[in-house]
Amino acid sequence: MITQHKYAAIDIGSNAVRLLISTITEQEGKEPIFKKTSLVRVPIRLGADVFMTKMISEENQVRMIDTMKAFQLLMKSHKIERYKACATSAMREAENGVHVANEVLEKTGIEIEIIDGTHEAAIIATTDLNLLIQTDKTYLYVDVGGGSTEFTLYSNGEAITSRSFKLGTVRLLKNITEPNIWEEVETWVKAVTKDYHRIDLVGSGGNINNIFKSSGKAIGKPLSYLYLSSYYQLLNSFTYEERITELNLNDDRADVIIPATRIYLSAMKWTKARRIYVPKIGLADGIIKSLYQEKI
């Protein structure tokens, strides 16, 4: 006898807005099974507004409301039992972020929770990351977004420390990062990892997922520093248009993938990591898991 539930997660990021629908299958005496039923991604790129002007533009407010209306209808069609919508870097920095959230609630019925970087990292930590992390090894988890990057150090199967930095792909594209952000991140990463040896990276985010998919590697196998470095050189050898036509990248991926790869490579260099694992998890997966944990 099995019981099934349908949950949804809305991840409102600086580059894109995502709706993840998951089916949770419960079996007596066994761990529940989480299966991704549907994933819809809309590249609104809120960060392009906010990181330049501190405001979400009128155009993107309309796009946000239209997108949330569509998500609300999709959740209704899928007969979603529970959902949660979380907004990250762009909306928490926007002076009109709360206003936009209120407009979305009024016009779509979807309540948006604007979360900080620490909360974001904590939600991601509820995912199946524990299935990848071996208790006798040390890992630096790196989640690269459009507005920020979250770092979490894991050792002996436990989270040691974490921190969120305003180092994201959209900020880097627009050249609007804080003057010493790279040095700040490097100093912190080196400080928290200096007493550990043979560190591996765990990468999450749409860009590293895309790179992993193009590598043809089997699920669970890591990418090497050499491979990622070579791919970074390949990306830089193409124009933006060529990345779309020759590498088959989406237009909203073909630009941000370069700064994202730079962040992963930098983290590997700072930790002397030779491998990066890509479990294909993120904030939306964590939202689903946290919703389910609240239920039980």
To the question of pTM greater than 0.95 for the whole model, the response is: no
Query: Which pLDDT score is estimated for 89?
Result: 92
The DSSP code sequence of 177-224 is: S-TTHHHHHHHHHHHHHTT--SEEEEEESHHHHHHHHHHTPPTTPPEE
Asked whether residue 242 falls in the same domain as residue 255, the answer is yes
Please give the residue range of the domain that contains residue 34. 2-118+284-295
Q: Is 220 exposed, middle or buried (0-12, 13-18, 19+ CB in 10 A)?
A: exposed
Q: Is residue 222 part of a domain?
A: yes
Asked whether residue 274 falls in the same domain as residue 134, the answer is yes
Q: How many CA atoms within 13 Å lie on the side-chain side of 176?
A: 14
Structural domains in the chain (count): 2
Q: Is residue 62 part of a domain?
A: yes
d(CA 220, CA 140): 16
Do strands 138-144 and 199-204 pair parallel, antiparallel, or not at all (unpaired)?
parallel
Q: Is residue 124 part of a domain?
A: no
Q: How far apart are the first and last CA of the chain?
A: 19
Amino acid type, 292: Y
Give the domain CATH number at 199.
3.30.420.150
Least Cα distance to 295 among 106, 41, 22, 11 occurs for 22
CB 95 within 8 A of CB 54: yes
Asked whether residue 71 falls in the same domain as residue 98, the answer is yes
Give the domain CATH number at 39.
3.30.420.40
Structure tokens at 42: 């809309």
Query: Which pLDDT score is estimated for 134?
Result: 72
In the chain, beta strands by DSSP E? 2-12, 17-27, 33-42, 82-87, 112-114, 138-144, 149-155, 158-165, 199-204, 223-224, 275-277
pLDDT along the chain (296 residues), means of 10: 95 96 94 94 94 96 98 98 96 96 97 90 74 80 93 89 93 92 98 95 94 93 97 98 96 96 98 94 90 82
Q: Which residues are registered as beta bridge partners of 112?
A: 85
For residue 105, the SS3 value is helix
Asked whether residue 188 falls in the same domain as residue 57, the answer is no
Asked whether residue 230 falls in the same domain as residue 215, the answer is yes
Asked whether residue 153 falls in the same domain as residue 198, the answer is yes
Asked whether residue 145 falls in the same domain as residue 242, the answer is yes
Asked whether residue 154 falls in the same domain as residue 257, the answer is yes
Q: Is residue 123 part of a domain?
A: no
CB 264 within 8 A of CB 144: yes
CB 133 within 8 A of CB 204: no
Q: Is residue 139 part of a domain?
A: yes
Query: Which pLDDT score is estimated for 128?
Result: 66
Query: Which pLDDT score is estimated for 197?
Result: 87
Asked whether residue 175 falls in the same domain as residue 241, the answer is yes
Asked whether residue 141 falls in the same domain as residue 236, the answer is yes
d(CA 277, CA 202): 5
Asked whether residue 178 falls in the same domain as residue 204, the answer is yes
Question: What's the DSSP call for residue 252?
Answer: T
Query: Which pLDDT score is estimated for 130?
Result: 63
Asked whether residue 110 falls in the same domain as residue 195, the answer is no
Task: Taking each helix axis as running N to C, give the angle between helix 283-295 and helix 117-124, from 0 to 180 degrees, rounded to the nearest 10.
Answer: 70
